[in-house]
Amino acid sequence: MTSAITQDQPPQPPKGTSQGDEPQEAGVREEEYLYRDESRLQAGSLLTSRTMARRLPSLVRRSVQMAWRVDRSATIGLLVCQIGTGVLAALGLLAVTGTITALISSGGITERLWDAAPQLAVIAAATGLRALLGITVVWLTGRLRPVLGRAAELTMVEAALGAELAANNKPGYNDAYDIADRGAQVTPDLVEEAQDVIAATATLTAGAAVLTVLHPLLLPLLFLACLPQAAAYVRSARVIYLAGLETSGRRRMLGKLRWHMAYMESSEEMRACLAGPFLIGRYRKLAASVSAAEREAANTGAWMGLAGAVAGGVASIAVWAALLWLLASGRMSLAAGGGAVFALQTATGSVRGIINGGARLVRTGWYVQDWQNFLDNAHGQAMTDSRGTAPLPAAPVRFEVRDVTYRYDGAPKDSLSDVSLHMRRGEIVALVGENGSGKTTLSRLLCGLLLPTEGEVAWDHACTADLDPWGAWEHVALVPQKFTYLPLTMRDNITFGQGDTSDAALLAACEASGAAEMLPGLRSGINTLLTSEWFGGQQLSGGQWQRLVLTRAFHRQAALLVMDEPTAALDARAEHRIFAGLRELAKDRAILLITHRLTNVAVADRIVVLDKGRIVQEGTYAQLTREPGLFQSLWELQRRMSGNAA
C-alpha cells in the first residue's frame, strides 16, 4: 500500500537481478547499493583478451611513465634487470641444450665432457647472475611499489578535486571513483606483471628458436597446446573483474558503515540510539551478499581454470606424442631429441608463465583502465570540460545571479526557479527562508561552486562558467553549514597554507571570530594538533570548531564572503561578536549571510526571502517586519517563542 512516506518507487534493479515475489526482510532490498551502470557492465562483459591486448601497451606505458616520474633510477634498474634476466635465461637455455646435445652425441666420454665444458660454464655463470638479478628485482620492486601506489592514489584525488561539485550527485560517479580507486591500488601490479611477462617472453624466444631449429613442427604445436588454457584464464579473470564491478557499490557501503560505527564523529549516536545492532545486522547482510557474489565468481573462475588445465593437459600429451613420433620415425636424432626435451620443458614453462602473467596482466589492465578512464575526464565531470579558463583581471566588485534555475542531478524537481540576485562589495545581503527553500543552493551558485542549469551567474562582467574556477575561488571565503574538521594543527586548519601566514594576521582573524579565547587552553597554542585521534592532539567542542571555521573565512580576505548558518553552534557572546563585527568586515567584501535567526538579519542592507526555490520577498529589515508575508510570519513566530520563554 502507498502512503505519504513510501510514495517513491525503489530504484529498478539491474537487468538479470531476480525480482521474485518472496517478501524481503525489513529494511534490506535485493537491489540496494548495487552497481547500476548497465553500459559499463555490458562493456565489461564484452572485454576480451584481444581488446585488452590492444590496450595493454598504452596502459603499461602510462604506468611505466608514472614509475619513471616517482623513482627514475628504480625504474631503469628494474627494466635492465628484467631484460638481463631474460637474456641470461635464453643463454642458459641455449647452453643446456648444447650440453645435452654434446653429452649424448657419439665419441669418448672425456671428449664429450670437454665439448660440454664451455656450455657448463655458461650455465653456471647465467644461473648465478640470474639469482643476483632476481634479488635486485625484489629490492627495487619493494622500493618502487609503495611510492607508485601512493602516486596513483594522489592522481585519483587530483582528478576528483578537478571534477564538478555537482558530480557527486551524478548517477554512477561515486561508483566510477571507487572502481578507479581499485585500479589505482593495483597500478604497481601492472608494472610488475608486465615485467614478468617480458622476462617469460625473453626465455620463450630462446626456447622457440631452439625448438624451431630442432623441428619446425614443435613450436606451433606447443602454442596450440597452450591456447585453451590462455582462453580459460582470461575468461576467469573477466568473471572475477565483473563480480568486483557489480559489488563495488555494496563494498563502498560496507566501508561507510565501518567508518560510522568505529569513528568518534558518529559513534556517540551509534551508542545512544542503539544503532549498533541494527547497523551490524545490515553490515552482515551486505557482507554476505558481497561474499556470495565473490564466491560465485571464484567458483566459476576455478571451473574455467580447471577446464583450461584439462584441455591444456590433453594438448600437451599431443605435443609429447608428436616428439616421440619424430624420434621413432627417425625424423629427429636422439641427440637432438635430448635437447628438444629440455627446450620443450623450458618453453612450456615460459608459455605457462606468459599465460599466467598475461591473464593477471589483463585483469589488472581492466582495473587500471578504469583508473585511467577516471583520470582522463573524471567520469565525464571534469571542470576542465565544463568550464572556461578565463582569469579574472582583478578582485570582483559585483556578483549577480541572473534568472537562474537549478536542479540537482537525479532530483525530481528544481531546487531554484528563475532566481535573480545581485550584491556588491560593501553590502551585506541576508538570505532567509524555511528548510529546503534553496538558500544553500543559491549560495553555491553565487560562489561558482555549482553552475546553473539555466541562466547565469556573473562576477563583474564574467560568467562563472567561463572563469578558471581555481583562480575565481581565490576571491571566495565560505563558512559552510556543514564544516570540515581536519586533523591538522590550528594554524594549518585556518590557513590551508595560503595567504599571510604570519602570527599577526592569524591573531587578527582569531580575534574577529572569537577563536583567540581558545588559544590559552590549547597545549601548543596555534600549533596544537586539533584531533584526539592521534597522540598529542586536542579535540575542540562544536562551537569552538565553528569559531575556527569563521577564522578561516576571515583570514582569507576574499571579495565574497558567504556564511551559511555561521553562528548556529556559538554561545550568545560569541554570536554577538560576529554580528557586531560584520559591518566592519563588509567594508571591502560582499557578504551573503544565511540564517534562521531572523533578529540577526537586522544587520543586513537587504534581505531576500526564498520559498520553495523562488524569491518571494526582498527588502530591508524595517520593511519586511512591517510587510505581511513569509518573513513577517516567521519573524513573529520567533519573537513570540522568545517572548513566551521570557
Ligand X SMILES: Nc1ncnc2c1ncn2[C@@H]1O[C@H](COP(=O)(O)OP(=O)(O)OP(=O)(O)O)[C@@H](O)[C@H]1O
Binding site for ligand X (CB under 6 A): 169, 408, 411, 415, 433, 435-441, 481
Is the four-CA dihedral 190, 191, 196, 199 of positive or negative sign? Answer: positive
Please, what is the minimum distance in Å from the beta carbon of residue 238 to ligand X?
A: 35
Strand order through the sheet with 398-406: 416-424, 398-406, 454-459, 462-463
| Kind of pairing between the strands at 454-459 and 462-463 | antiparallel
Please, what is the minimum distance in Å from the beta carbon of residue 412 to ligand X?
A: 9
Q: Per DSSP, which regions of 211-263 are E strands? A: none
Q: For 477, phi and psi rounded to 5 degrees?
A: -125, 130
Is the four-CA dihedral 6, 8, 14, 15 of positive or negative sign? Answer: positive
Q: Which is nearer to ligand X, 187 or 415 (CB)?
A: 415
Q: Which is nearer to ligand X, 192 or 565 (CB)?
A: 565
Pick the closest to residue 221 from 307, 325, 303 (CA basis): 325
Residue 420, C-beta contacts closer than 8 angstroms, at least 6 positions apart: 400, 401, 402, 403, 404, 455, 615
Please, what is the minimum distance in Å from the beta carbon of residue 173 to ligand X?
A: 12
Q: Which is nearer to ligand X, 223 or 408 (CB)?
A: 408
Q: For 70, phi and psi rounded to 5 degrees?
A: -85, -30
Please, what is the minimum distance in Å from the beta carbon of residue 443 to ligand X?
A: 8
Please, what is the minimum distance in Å from the beta carbon of residue 564 to ligand X?
A: 7
Please, what is the minimum distance in Å from the beta carbon of residue 444 to ligand X?
A: 8
Q: Which is nearer to ligand X, 384 or 481 (CB)?
A: 481
Joined grid coordinates for residue 462: 564574467
Please, what is the minimum distance in Å from the beta carbon of residue 409 to ligand X?
A: 8
The whole-angstrom separation of Cα 487 and Cα 145 is: 27
Please, what is the minimum distance in Å from the beta carbon of residue 461 to ligand X?
A: 27
| Residue 506 CA neighbour count, 13 Å, CB half | 18
Q: Which is nearer to ligand X, 92 or 433 (CB)?
A: 433
Q: Which is nearer to ligand X, 59 or 431 (CB)?
A: 431
Q: Which is nearer to ligand X, 415 or 464 (CB)?
A: 415
Pick the closest to residue 199 from 88, 97, 93 (CA basis): 88
Q: Which is nearer to ligand X, 387 or 439 (CB)?
A: 439
The whole-angstrom separation of Cα 50 and Cα 237 is: 14
Please, what is the minimum distance in Å from the beta carbon of residue 566 to ligand X?
A: 13
Q: Which is nearer to ligand X, 173 or 371 (CB)?
A: 173
Exposure string over 279-289, b if 16+ CB within 10 A, otherwise e: eeebeeebeeb
Q: State the amino acid at position 483 in one-letter form.
A: F
The whole-angstrom separation of Cα 318 and Cα 6 is: 66
